[in-house]
Amino acid sequence: MKDLLVLGIESSCDETSVAVVKNGRELLSNVIDTQIPIHEKYGGVVPEIASRNHIEAITRVTKKALEEANVTFEDIDVIAPTYGPGLVGALLVGLSYGKALSFALNKLLVGVNHIEGHIAANYITYKELEPPFLCVLISGGNTQIINVKDYTKFEMLGKTRDDAIGEAFDKVARVVGLGYPGGPKVDKLALEGEPNIKLPKTHFENSLDFSFSGIKTAVINYNHNTKDVNKADLCASFEKAVTEVLIENVTEAIKQTGAKKVAIAGGVSANKFIRKAFLNLENEYSELKVYMPDMKLCTDNAAMIASAGYYNFIAGNTYELDLNAMPNLKIKEKVI
């Protein structure tokens, strides 16, 4: 089969990213223009400001992605923008740009689910990884255990009933005064602390669901009611508690499904403590192999979107120009 080049476009939150990926696995370019410094002073992403900045960045980022890949628009086979979930105004920028390219250049359009993109980040890091496997998706908007049955066939085994784990990291960072985005800052400070503060862990009976609102509130209360809070200890304790919950649920999912492969994905999968805990699973289960994306592929990027776009194209999922942004798009659950 001829090589297939996919132009991935990502603009669901505060990163404008465009990438060129060959055959779903080989990264030719992955340009990421982050708006973090712009939103930092507001303590979080301001949707309207995000949309405006995507508009200003998208053409420049696309040009750079083509240059770095050493290709032209003519060489591209498929245009694959994220169409959900995410901030609607932000999504519309990348999606409209992708649709315009598809129309003007007469190229196929494949809309990509951002969550499927995060899972696909693992395909770029591990050329040999193939479904089936379990994927623990831990990001700013989602916390899910997904049974990846095939490249475009998924089964949801468990998900958060309230906050996403990334939201909890960001909230803890704000409470202890670390600023936005909190996850990387909690990660760094926790390395200097001891996990000696007892925090609640939530489990549901006969369920692989998560809840992070209780621990978030516990951190807020502890910080409020304690004199001379040791911030590093608090960060380390928070990280340990949420990691234990993730590991306990994924261990149960491994038992239920007999999975031999477990991947993590999403922004929070960049966390050092969490990465170490998942790698440790290989020591406990001799037949288990653990996968985690390269650090630069954990947070939002278009290379993972291009990879998911490739597999959707192969599965025959192409889209018309009436495709709209879907801020609450869920993962497509299909029964084989």
The residues binding ligand KG4 (CB under 6 A) are: 13, 139-141, 166, 169-170, 181-184, 187, 266-268, 270-271, 299-300
Q: CB of residue 55 vs ligand KG4: minimum separation in angstroms?
A: 20
Residue in 106, 105, 84 with CA at minimum distance from that of residue 95: 84
Per DSSP, 209 falls in state: -
**Tokens standing for 56?**
């200003």
Q: CB of residue 249 vs ligand KG4: minimum separation in angstroms?
A: 18
Within 10 angstroms of residue 74's Cβ, the number of other Cβ atoms is 7
Residue number, 148 or 189, with CB nearest to ligand KG4: 189
Residue in 8, 98, 4, 92 with CA at minimum distance from that of residue 302: 8
Read out DSSP for 26-60?
A: EEEEEEEEE-HHHHHTTTS--HHHHHHHHHHHHHH
Q: CB of residue 84 vs ligand KG4: minimum separation in angstroms?
A: 11
Q: CB of residue 191 vs ligand KG4: minimum separation in angstroms?
A: 11
C-alpha distances (whole Å) from 293 to each of 44, 174, 209 are 25, 27, 23
Q: CB of residue 44 vs ligand KG4: minimum separation in angstroms?
A: 10
Q: CB of residue 141 vs ligand KG4: minimum separation in angstroms?
A: 4
Residue number, 66 or 290, with CB nearest to ligand KG4: 290
Q: CB of residue 75 vs ligand KG4: minimum separation in angstroms?
A: 29
Residue number, 113 or 152, with CB nearest to ligand KG4: 113
Residue in 295, 303, 293, 298 with CA at minimum distance from that of residue 23: 303
Beta pairing, strands 261-265 & 289-291? parallel
Report the C-alpha gap between 199 and 240 in whole angstroms: 9
Residue number, 60 or 188, with CB nearest to ligand KG4: 188
Report the C-alpha gap between 325 and 92 in whole angstroms: 6
Residue number, 166 or 193, with CB nearest to ligand KG4: 166
Q: Is 260 within 8 Å of 289 (Cβ atoms)?
A: yes
Report the C-alpha gap between 289 and 149 in whole angstroms: 16
Residue number, 76 or 136, with CB nearest to ligand KG4: 136
Residue number, 107 or 240, with CB nearest to ligand KG4: 240
Residue type at position 277? A
Q: CB of residue 69 vs ligand KG4: minimum separation in angstroms?
A: 22
Residue number, 234 or 268, with CB nearest to ligand KG4: 268
